[in-house]
Amino acid sequence: MHHRIAGVRLSRTSAHRKALFSNLIAALFTHERIRTTDAKAKETRRLAERTITWARRLGDVLGKKPERRSLDESARYVHAVRMARRVVRDRGAVLRLFEDVAPRFLDRQGGYTRIIKLPQRPGDAAPMSLLELLPEDEGAAKPAGKDDKGGGGKGAEKAAKGGEAKGAKAQAKGAEKAAPKKAAKK
């Protein structure tokens, strides 16, 4: 039985697993999107959202310069940085988290990332996913009736690969081919 045990093992030792997730989260904060397997993406999402919440809880302290912070605010900032550094060992990624990522999500109560399903990896047919931070404009409002769950399917695959642009080009070519035929019939 696997009761009351959070997280996945992924056939790795605990040290290897911690290093793996630390590196994945650092890459996510640095590049804002990563391509990885489904299992790794789901676990990375859990850890990354917890880390973003540590930074986001600072709120107004993030906007102040270090010399303008009170003693209490400085202590809160240092504590949040140390909590983030427990998960993410890369200094540059933690700095980017507190300067760029956390201020973007100040008015959001969770759900800072999304997972988009991708086609299987060719070598071993592993299920792949794209884990990305939500852009600034999506954090504000969602269209009514849209549900973000279940984001698989061919539409997500095309969007992840940039297939929308290819689809638009194909439609334009199809319209050009159809137009001369209609003109010839008249």
Convert the pLDDT of each residue in 99-111 to its tens digit. 999 999 999 999 9
Structure-block tokens of residue 54? 């540590």
Span 113-133, pLDDT tens digits: 999 999 999 999 999 999 999
Residue the block writes with tokens 């060992």? 89
Q: How many residues does the chain have?
A: 186
Q: Which residue has the higher pLDDT, 18 or 164?
A: 18
Q: What is the pLDDT of residue 137?
A: 77
Beta partners for residue 132, in sequence order: 33, 114
Predicted pLDDT at 163: 47
The pTM (predicted TM-score) of the whole model is 0.73
- 21-70 per-position pLDDT tens digit: 999 999 999 999 999 999 999 999 999 999 999 999 999 899 899 999 99
Burial of 162 (0-12, 13-18, 19+ CB in 10 A): exposed
Averaged confidence pLDDT in the chain = 83
